Structure 1
Amino acid sequence: MTLPLRFAAALACATLALSACDGGRNNQQLTPRDGAAARYTPSGQRVPLQDWQPIPRRAVSPETQLARDTILGPNAIEDGKVKLWWFGVSSFVISGGGHLWLMDAWEPIGLQADYVPVGREEIAAIQPEAIFIGHGHFDHAADAGYIAGRSGAVVVGSEEICTSVQADAAQDDLQNAFDCLITGTATLPAPGTTQTVELWNDMAAVSILQHIHSAASPQTYELGDTPFIHVPNLLPYLGYLNSSPEEWLRFLSTLTLEQGGTWAYHFKLGDFTLLWHDSTGPIVASDPDGAAVQAALDSFPGCVDVQLGAIVGFDQPISGLRDPRLYVEHAHPRVFLPNHHDAWAPVVGGGAAAYKSEWQREMDSLENPPLVDYLTDPVDYMAPRVYDIKDPIWAEPMPGSRCAGE
């Protein structure tokens, strides 16, 4: 992480009587819709979706506000706006409806370090209220325990994901500093199943879809699929070498984290809807699970306005970018932002520029292509995207979507 941000986070943490960065939870005072005082106190519970009691909005301390203003910019939470900040691979900070949360939680670090201008310390300092995990592999969830343990953020994910996150937090004796909201297991519910939960008492329910992780699947190859081999950009690794033995050891210890299912999350704020997923599997119609996921992608409440989706996967050498294109084809977003395509690991992470022209070809092949807001590393790291949820465009259904036919 860069020195100015590291210094700012350290300053914010130093001013806390019970620091957000050393495990204190002084920011757990929450305010419900009616303005009356309320307190949500996490205790290390695992709560199934059906048993979850919606929690009120969290009050923000001056110290947390300072960290948010420094790291995210002023007015990170703004009435009537949804904002997002990309901090590598599929990890995003998102604000909306008076709340601030994370999608995935990993500071991209391994052979490289400091390529992304924020790290786990800064993300913990902004005190996210929840962390939605797409799956449990290291490049998506390795820092969830660190951040949740220091913020009290609810961790949303499967049983297996919760086990890994709690184990990481236990290294600092913070395993009881947050609760897990359990979406299921690695195999249950079946792919194509959508569940809902009201995480907060002042926001619409979040839809949670079990889908399919990327995989090399020659059995799903179809006529017209075009293999794609990208040319990786190695400069980020040469220019940002990781020289910290401690970070190397931490990185190596996370390489065997369990997948724990594959989860997509859909949010609705007024007429505006947002879909996020950190993997794209071979959801071909000839496979029953694939067909079920296809149908589910076009069945979310209010359909999909903005889609944040992984475009890189293990099927790329066989079927090119067909699999992520299928996710877009069946979700019918108005705007699409790619992720998991940056230089996060040597060779595997090719850097965004390596996929741009091929991805645009895939989008141009669609009958109703979305506007592509092509995130590019490193210039788009922590560069905010802002959506006005009252913009009338969100009330207009995207052509080809289920909503257009209603």
Structure 2
Amino acid sequence: MCKLPGLGLFGPGGKLTSLSAGVLRPAADPADPRTIAARARFFGADTVDPQTGALRTDRVVLSWVGCTTFALAIGGSVFLLDAWVPRLTSTGYVPATPQGLVDLAPAAIFIGHGHFDHAADAGRIAQASGAVVHGTAEHCASIAAQVTDPAFPTAVHGDAGTAIGTREDFAVGAVEVTVVRHLHSARTPSDPVGGSPRFFPRPQPGIVLTHPPTLSGLLQGVPRLRDPEGGVLLYQFRVPGLCLVWHDSTGPLTERAPQVFDTLAALPATDVQIGAVQGYNQISNGLRDPRTYIEALTPALFVPSHHDNWLPGLTASAATYDAPLRAELERISAPRRPELRTLHDPADYVRPQRLTFQL
């Protein structure tokens, strides 16, 4: 959702940009004890071979790392969905670090859009792990600019000018992937037909006192505040037995790109949808936009994200979304209504048991 205004001092080449570079320790071999320990923590000890670090292929596991970042074990590989550990204004609220994500030895990083709260750690993580960065041309260029002499591969899926609704299919290892161009959240006039009650939770700034920001967190985060969106991508990941959709923003397709609903409806049947529910349009149309994505995708299970208290003063805890989200799902006819599996901060951060799917 968020793009905060930056200050000229902190822009490209600014003073804090040069101070913020922090090199992460390179990823180890999967059999290295460090990698095995990281994978066991993020995916569960019974998902990881204790000798080789190999992942079970008969299950898919996700760990929430705040906002819309997830570590994903699928098809024997580790993927990162977005790459940012929240710590700009509150450090340690999310019990994870960029180094911890590097230690997973990810094969790929999938970027939904380029704002700081989705991609601010992607450059350092990719540089240290060698993970392939997937995103638009603008995402990849912006992430490469986060580090000196980038040495990681990229996979470009269109650019900022690509037509909304464009679909691309490819494979990463044993995983089939589809990417769809869609829209960032945005406020539109109140919808008298399909709109929902306005909603914006009261901010809860208290965690700044219990998890105050640190200088290192500010030095790493502030230079990224002006990173551009660069287009918005939705991803579907498929292995035999499970089809997973993830999107880190939810746009007003009703007014601005209704053709995308047909594109989403034409995707292979979705088992699990992880979607952003916080967005600018909740001020005018409540949680209508998340509902419209759900109605198009018809998942069996919906998991909300981008709704946690990562920016105290502007955001609130995920639990404040429970009642309006359940009310919104009630507007979907019972045969098409998904099961809701909530994620609450901070209890559900790095909690693989919450999102483990047996194939």
Q: Which residue in 2 is equivalent to 1:253?
A: 223
Q: Which residue in 1 is equivalent to 2:25?
A: 22
Corresponding position: 1:197 with 2:170: yes
Q: Distance in 1 between matches of 2:67 and 2:195?
A: 29
Q: Which residue in 2 is equivalent to 1:325?
A: 291
What's the offset of the Cα at 1:60? 4.6
Q: Distance in 2 between matches of 1:317 and 1:219?
A: 9
What secondary structure does 1:355 align onto? Answer: helix
Q: Which residue in 2 is equivalent to 1:236?
A: 207
Corresponding position: 1:216 with 2:187: yes
Match of 1:152 among 130, 134, 137: 130
Q: Which residue in 1 is equivalent to 2:8?
A: none
Q: Which residue in 2 is equivalent to 1:15?
A: none
Task: Write the mapping of 1:116-127 to structure 2, written as runs, cut at 5 A.
Answer: 116-127=94-105
**Structure 2: unaligned runs, 5 residues or longer:** 1-22, 49-54
**Counterparts in 2 of 1:254 and 1:365: CA distance versus 1, 3 Å:** same
Letter in 1 for 2:347: V
CA contact (8 A) 2:107 2:130 kept: yes
Letter in 1 for 2:78: L
What's the offset of the Cα at 1:235? 2.4
Q: Distance in 1 between matches of 2:289 and 2:301?
A: 18
What's the offset of the Cα at 1:224? 4.5
Corresponding position: 1:314 with 2:317: no
What's the offset of the Cα at 1:265? 0.5
What's the offset of the Cα at 1:259? 0.6
Task: Write the mapping of 1:336-347 to structure 2, written as runs, cut at 5 A.
Answer: 336-347=302-313
- Residue by residue, what CA displacement relative to the aligned partner does 1:279-337 show, whole Å, maximum 9, x if unpaired? 000011x54x2x21111111112x10000000010111100111111111111000010
CA contact (8 A) 1:232 1:354 kept: no
Match of 1:278 among 225, 243, 248: 248
**Counterparts in 2 of 1:220 and 1:259: CA distance versus 1, 3 Å:** farther
Q: Which residue in 1 is equivalent to 2:14?
A: none
What's the offset of the Cα at 1:271? 3.1
What's the offset of the Cα at 1:61? 4.0
**Counterparts in 2 of 1:223 and 1:327: CA distance versus 1, 3 Å:** closer
Percent identical pairs in the alignment equals 36
Task: Write the mapping of 1:50-129 to structure 2, written as runs, cut at 5 A.
Answer: 60-74=31-45, 75-76=47-48, 77-129=55-107
CA contact (8 A) 1:134 1:140 kept: yes
Instruction: Report the TM-score, using the length of structure 1 for normalisation.
Output: 0.77
- Residue by residue, what CA displacement relative to the aligned partner does 1:259-286 show, whole Å, maximum 9, x if unpaired? 11100110111131000000000011x5
**Counterparts in 2 of 1:275 and 1:375: CA distance versus 1, 3 Å:** same
Aligned residues: 326
**Counterparts in 2 of 1:204 and 1:229: CA distance versus 1, 3 Å:** closer
CA contact (8 A) 1:233 1:354 kept: no
- Residue by residue, what CA displacement relative to the aligned partner does 1:5-63 show, whole Å, maximum 9, x if unpaired? xxxxxxxxxxxxxxx9434x664xxxxxxxxxxxxxxxxxxxxxxxxxxxxxxx65444
Q: Distance in 2 between matches of 1:68 and 1:22?
A: 16
**Counterparts in 2 of 1:78 and 1:339: CA distance versus 1, 3 Å:** same
Q: Which residue in 2 is equivalent to 1:360?
A: 326
**Structure 1: unaligned runs, 5 residues or longer:** 1-19, 28-58, 390-406
Higher relative contact order (CA 8 A, sep 6+): 2
CA contact (8 A) 2:75 2:175 kept: no
CA contact (8 A) 2:71 2:81 kept: yes
**Counterparts in 2 of 1:363 and 1:98: CA distance versus 1, 3 Å:** same
CA contact (8 A) 2:135 2:156 kept: yes
